Amino acid sequence: MTHSQMFRLCLTAALTSLVISGFPSMGRAESQPKTTTSTSVYHEDSSHLWNRLHVALFVRVGPDKQVYGQDRFEPLLWRQSKHLLEPVSHARAITVLDEFLANNGEELIASPLPRALLQRDLWMIFNWLEGTHRDFAEPKLDANAALNAQQQLRNRIVAMLGRLTLTPAEIQSLPDNYLAAATSERFSHRFDSKHPDEPYLPADLFKDDGPWICIGRTDGATAPQHLREENPYTNSVFLTFIRLPRGRSATASYVKQLIDFDLPLLVQNPKKNSRRAFPLVPNPQLPQFPKGTELALVRRALLIDSSHRVTASPLTESVQLRTIRSDVPTLTKQVLADAAIYTTEGMRRNSEWQTFHEVRLSRIQLLTGIAGGLRAVRPDERDFKTGFNAHMWDDFESPLRGQSFRDRSRPFTVKEQCFFCHSMPGVYSFNSFKGDFKNAMQRKDGDQSRSFPLGLLSVSDVTEAAIERRKQHPNWIALQELLSE
């Protein structure tokens, strides 16, 4: 039996054991205490250098003494994190990084796929280090000591990124893990209204002449909110797709109606009893989503090639799906209140007409060939908020102030968090079209401008725009200069 076969066998057995015990790929199951921080991601031996490096950078122990982040697709780091900068975690990370550099750790695993994953992870850590780190929770770090620790990590990670670059041919040879997941037995191909919580992935999402249409901004990168500079974890392309139930032609015709809509997007609220809270409401003449409309947001990894260029990869990091499962409700006072105020009952009513699904990357599943490395987010799953729309404080370090660790750091399930950005009825929650209707309509001087400039674009068009935006980001400019030294 070859080493790679043994690795697959051992990791598959380990993954099966973790699933049985309730350990999800994103972290750990809250019902199962686990105090060891060892993990086997890149090799069956948990003490392998690559595994120890992953633990040092990605795995954390919470105030509840339980372990988180073993296979999470973003690091558990925020702008105000002391982790990796304070003496204990910093020394642990530096020790493993130095061992990797001194012993040519990049040569221990030659396969492009695990090298791509490690490069991806280190690039996100670098971006986090490039940010401003201050306003730490008590006990505060000395500013100069934190800056020195930041620089020491930065230098080592840049050196490692230089060793882990892949040739353009190696990047393009990486597996299309979305296709592998969508055609696996783990997922249905269509949304099932009788079983709305059953995870699904459409196998025809990327089909050129299929029912799904890729749309994007004609003035730059699609999903710009996800790519904001304050989000350090934006080494990705975000692809937006839409599908109407009557097929591709109907979908294209509907999108054209949205693009050509030339009336104000917000109008004065005609209902006096809700006008004080919502002076403006979305224009009811805007063409509404029909029942059965589906939307998808696909996040794909960018990588650094051997010429130190930002390069698109076929690796899918996550997919968020939204289905309009019934007729979209009209803008009653109750509907507006449910959209603006997040209550359990309001979310329940909202879920009667739309359903959310999400799949996320699991390194373990990807490296063992299980469902393309994509695993479904459970209906009751909770996670920390990092990256997109995240807060500044570190959930592991901020005072609990009488709250439990879970209630303070993860008060909502992952799927409930989807409502925060998509709680408006139907097309009014289509943020790629206009952004946040909800906030605008609560202001008397709310934005009544036209939509974002949308177009029917190819995946390659959207990808190129995302790469151009990434190349202009200060973090990338700094990294590219360091790599060339």
CA gap 182, 37 in Å, rounded: 32
| Segments making up each domain of the chain, as ranges | 3-170, 175-477
Asked if omega into 139 is within 30° of 0 (cis), the reply is yes
DSSP codes joined into one string, 100-119 = HHHTTGGGS---HHHHHHHH
Q: 297 phi and psi, to 5 degrees?
A: -120, 115
Work out the burial of residue 418: count CB atoms within 10 Å of its CB; fewer than 13 is exposed, 13-18 middle, 19 or more buried: buried
Q: Which residue has the tokens 């120890």?
A: 52
pLDDT given for residue 175 in this prediction: 96
Q: Which residues is 240 bridged to in the sheet?
A: 215, 297
Q: What are the distances in angstroms from CA 410 to CA 175, 380, 382, 399, 403?
A: 33, 11, 6, 15, 11
Element (H, E) at 481: helix 474-484
> Distance between terminal CA atoms of the chain?
43
Distance CA 83, CA 234 (A): 21
Residue found by looking up tokens 């620089």 in the block: 151
User: Beta-carbon neighbour count of residue 240 at 10 Å?
Assistant: 22
Confidence at residue 444, expressed as pLDDT on a 0 to 100 scale: 53
Of 112, 162, 421, 197, nearest to 307 by C-alpha is 162
- Rounded Cα–Cα distance for residues 361 and 389 (Å): 20
Contact in structure between 226 and 212 (CB atoms under 8 Å): no
> Which of the 8 DSSP states describes residue 366?
H
Distance, CA of 35 to chain centre: 27
C-alpha 130: how far from chain center:
20
Residue 455 has which token pair? Answer: 């177009």
Distance CA 421, CA 109 (A): 41
Indicate the pairing of strand 294-304 with strand 374-376: unpaired
Q: pLDDT tens per residue, the chain (485 residues)?
A: 433 443 444 444 443 333 333 333 333 333 333 445 678 999 999 999 999 999 999 999 999 999 999 999 999 999 999 999 999 999 999 999 999 999 999 999 999 999 999 999 999 999 999 988 888 989 999 999 999 999 999 999 999 999 999 999 999 999 999 999 999 999 999 999 999 999 999 999 999 999 999 998 888 778 777 777 778 898 999 999 999 999 999 999 999 999 999 888 888 888 887 777 788 888 899 999 999 999 999 999 999 999 999 999 999 999 999 999 999 998 888 888 888 888 888 888 888 899 999 999 999 999 999 999 999 999 999 999 999 889 999 999 999 989 999 999 999 999 999 888 888 899 988 888 776 676 666 555 545 556 678 899 999 999 999 999 999 999 999 999 999 98
* CB count in 10 Å sphere of residue 56: 19
Is there a contact between 108 and 212 (Cβ–Cβ < 8 Å)? Answer: no
Question: Shortest CA distance to 71 belongs to which of 300, 301, 362?
Answer: 362
Kindly give, in sequence order, each residue whose CB lies less than 8 Å from that of residue 127, ignoring residues fewer than 6 positions away. Answer: 232, 233, 234, 235, 475
Distance from C-alpha of 147 to C-alpha of 474, rounded to nearest angstrom: 18
Rg (CA), the chain: 23
CB-hemisphere CA count at 13 Å for 168?
5
**Which position has the token pair 């920390």?**
384
Quickly tell me which residue has 């304070």 as its tokens: 86
Cα angle for residues 316, 111, 369 (degrees, 5° grid): 50
Distance, CA of 250 to CA of 419 (rounded, Å)? 27
Pseudo-torsion of CA 41, 47, 49, 51, nearest 10°? 20
Structure tokens that stand for 212 in this block: 């799904």
pTM strictly above 0.95: no
> Which amino acid belongs to residue 290?
P
Please give the Cα distance from 284 to 330 (Å, whole number).
9
User: CA 145 to CA 128: how far, in whole Å?
Assistant: 17
Contact present, 130 and 79 (Cβ < 8 Å) = no
Determine the pLDDT at residue 347: 87
Three-state secondary structure of 256-301: HHHHHCCCCCEEECCCHHHHCCCCEEECCCCCCCCCCCEEEEEEEE
In whole angstroms, what separates CA 95 from the centre of its chain?
Answer: 30
What are the beta bridge partners of residue 305?
166
